[in-house]
Structure 1
Amino acid sequence: MKGCAVGIDVSKDRLDVHVEGGEAFTCPRDTESIEALAQRLCALQPGAIGVEATGGFETVVAAGLAGQGLPVVVVNPAQIRAFANALGKRAKTDPIDAAVIARFVAATDPEIRPLKDEETRLLSDLVSRRRQIVAMIAAERQRERRAPPRVQRSIARLVRALERELASLDGDIDEAVRSCPAWRQTENLLVSVPGIGPAIARTLIAELPELGTLGRRRIASLAGLAPWTRQSGQWRGRSFIGGGRSTVRSALFMGALVASRHNPELKAFRDRLVAAGKPKLVALVAVARKLLTILNAIVRDQTPWQPQNA
């Protein structure tokens, strides 16, 4: 890594900043202080600035620093805690955390990816809210099955209100996508694949903007669909998937379920795996990964879905 590593621990009201091999200081978490911090860090020409994900408090900080051209990466708190344990640092304070983040960034040299712009963040928030509303409707309908009649009427009123809110959100999402020609084109490309509807397409646009710009292995890793190998000496454990962006993975699983029934090529692919003795869940994961590879290629080449026998 060229340049120093910087770690920033974010709390509700302040930032603890640690420059690897240099100074450590704090500043308030407000717009003016973030702008001043950006100028101060620009003078240091850091190689990477690690900002720990902290329940959304890090978003403004990361956006403010990245807006000044600084190399910002949002790091996973679980990885930071595991790294701290590996270093033998059991104590946990904000200044210690900032120092650990800086050492983590220096040791791992993470890839710096562009942050979402304001429009993409808004679409992501709308899609996330839609997902929450759908989950609430599903939960209320589960409760309705075992509730007494008077409670059922209350649940029915709430479900109707949630469905109206869902329709309103769908309108907002549709307006956001249709107002952006690039998103509109990407959505049209994605929904050309049997198994992909507007909801899944918009989730991918909002949560996986790298689609079409990376190779199949890296895009599968981002979605949490790349298999992890477990091996030690002669012992070989089962590979498994995990990590990555869970919302993207969930959307692709739903797409894979539909594609396994209605997309002839992916249905045949799944049937071959099951016939070869693969468990159905393993086959579904493979379909989701192949579906993502197809979508990645379609967006990359800007060419709609073409069945192989067409």
Structure 2
Amino acid sequence: MKAFIGIDVGKEKLDISWLRDLVKSKKKTKIFKNNPKGYQELVAWLIKNTNLEAQDIVITTEPTGVYSEPLMYFLYEQGFILLHVNPGKAKQYASSLGLVHKTDKSDATMLARYGHDQQHSLLSWQPEPVEARELKVMTRRLEALEQDLRREVNRYEAVGFSGASTRVTQSIEDMIAVLKTEMGKLKNDIDEHIDRHPQLKKNRQLLQSIKGVGEVISRMMVSLMACKQFKNAKQLACYLGLIPKLNESGKRAGKTTLSKEGPGYIRAKLYMAAVVAVQHNPDIKAQNKRLVEQGKTKMQAIGAAMRKLTHICFGVVKNQTEYQPQAI
């Protein structure tokens, strides 16, 4: 016998839903604080109310980055069965159930039902190795610094038109210099961290054997694939929001675009890599030529190139072999 729990994770609270009886739609809900004390109270509540051991309790959540990770690590250490649901898949599932009124409590119940219905098709969540976790934290920090730099550069461009004081201009210049210096140091630390761990280092070398994949994409892909369990290339592309999606409205003919779910900052970098790959990667160049001849727009062809590049990245890491172009 198993109990199915759904947890909607927020910044400050955890909404819990326990499916007591799916047939009769009976459930029990509770709210705990999203902090270490709340985690302890959550575990005690689950054990007491379900009258089961941790290994017989299935908990389903959606990934919410820094807000959900401490909870997941804690629950894993306690022995619970953990399922992580792709937000896009969860949204589709909710729509199939006709769930219109969206609240934190209803989301938790939906996740519990999703875990019950899909338990055999979902991989149990496990924490990434320590070296992968550290790499993830550093790459997140680098992305935050890059965002700060973009904002400061935009401000610098704006002051040129607004006639801001010399002091303000100097302040922005100083901040840009500091951010660039720190980014350079952090990139070196990330590269040294990868080089210290043989598997991470090998994966990066394999990725850089792909024409169109350089320092930036290889760094991001090494981190992503070390931290996430992707069963196949399509799952990776779906996570990155690179799956085609048809948009239609009324009598107006729809057009196909990327789903754009998942981390946008990785897609932005993949876009630039795809532009390069279209010129220099034989497989992607051939695909791009074929799609353009079929009448696809330039952006549709680039989207396909991004997806193709992602598939190639997955393939070389999965098979642990260097990239070998298939196009003649």
TM-score by length of 1: 0.81
1-structure distance, mates of 2:140, 2:14: 27
2-structure distance, mates of 1:231, 1:12: 35
- Give 1:83's aligned amino acid: A
- Give 2:133's aligned amino acid: R
Task: Report which stretch shifted further, 200-209 or 234-243.
Answer: 234-243
Residue 290 of structure 1 corresponds to 308
- Give 1:260's aligned amino acid: V
Check 1:231–1:37 CA distance in 2 against 1; reply closer, same or farther (3 A cut): same
Residue 146 of structure 2 corresponds to 134
Check 1:131–1:89 CA distance in 2 against 1; reply closer, same or farther (3 A cut): closer
Q: Secondary structure at the match of 1:5?
A: strand
Residue 143 of structure 1 corresponds to 155
1-structure distance, mates of 2:28, 2:299: 51
Are 1:266 and 2:277 an aligned pair?
no
2-structure distance, mates of 1:281, 1:308: 24
Is contact 1:38–1:64 with CA below 8 Å preserved after alignment? no
Check 1:230–1:162 CA distance in 2 against 1; reply closer, same or farther (3 A cut): closer
Check 1:107–1:235 CA distance in 2 against 1; reply closer, same or farther (3 A cut): farther
Are 1:163 and 2:185 an aligned pair?
no
What are structure 1's unaligned runs of at least 5 residues? none
Match runs of 1:175-254 below 5 Å:
175-209=192-226, 214-229=231-246, 237-242=254-259, 243-254=261-272
2-structure distance, mates of 1:14, 1:142: 35
Task: Report which stretch shifted further, 159-168 or 219-228.
Answer: 219-228
Q: 1:211: Cα distance to partner? A: 7.9
Q: Secondary structure at the match of 1:277?
A: coil
- Give 1:138's aligned amino acid: R
Is contact 1:212–1:296 with CA below 8 Å preserved after alignment? no
Residue 77 of structure 2 corresponds to 67
2-structure distance, mates of 1:211, 1:104: 20
Residue 119 of structure 1 corresponds to 131
Select the structure that is richer in strand: 2
1-structure distance, mates of 2:237, 2:289: 22
Q: 1:111: Cα distance to partner? A: 1.6
Q: Secondary structure at the match of 1:155?
A: helix
Check 1:10–1:271 CA distance in 2 against 1; reply closer, same or farther (3 A cut): closer
Is contact 1:80–1:104 with CA below 8 Å preserved after alignment? no
Q: 1:287: Cα distance to partner? A: 1.0
Q: Secondary structure at the match of 1:306?
A: coil
Check 1:132–1:6 CA distance in 2 against 1; reply closer, same or farther (3 A cut): same
Task: Report which stretch shifted further, 211-220 or 53-62.
Answer: 211-220
Count of aligned pairs between the two proteins? 306
What are structure 2's unaligned runs of at least 5 residues? 21-26
Are 1:305 and 2:326 an aligned pair?
no
Superposition CA RMSD, Å: 3.6
2-structure distance, mates of 1:82, 1:219: 20
Q: Secondary structure at the match of 1:228?
A: strand
Is contact 1:62–1:74 with CA below 8 Å preserved after alignment? no
Q: Secondary structure at the match of 2:176?
A: helix
Q: 1:25: Cα distance to partner? A: 4.5
2-structure distance, mates of 1:277, 1:309: 21
Check 1:294–1:57 CA distance in 2 against 1; reply closer, same or farther (3 A cut): closer
Q: 1:238: Cα distance to partner? A: 2.8
Is contact 2:54–2:79 with CA below 8 Å preserved after alignment? no
Q: How far does the alpha carbon of each residue in 1:187-230 deviate from its partner, in whole angstroms, 9 at most, with x for none?
A: 01001112111221121122233789633333322222222356
Is contact 2:4–2:57 with CA below 8 Å preserved after alignment? yes
Residue 6 of structure 1 corresponds to 5
Correspondent of 1:34 among 39, 46, 52: 39
Is contact 2:257–2:300 with CA below 8 Å preserved after alignment? no
Q: 1:89: Cα distance to partner? A: 4.5
Q: How far does the alpha carbon of each residue in 1:218-255 deviate from its partner, in whole angstroms, 9 at most, with x for none?
A: 332222222235689x9974333212443443332222
Check 1:18–1:277 CA distance in 2 against 1; reply closer, same or farther (3 A cut): closer
Is contact 1:212–1:300 with CA below 8 Å preserved after alignment? no
1-structure distance, mates of 2:189, 2:139: 10
Is contact 1:80–1:101 with CA below 8 Å preserved after alignment? no
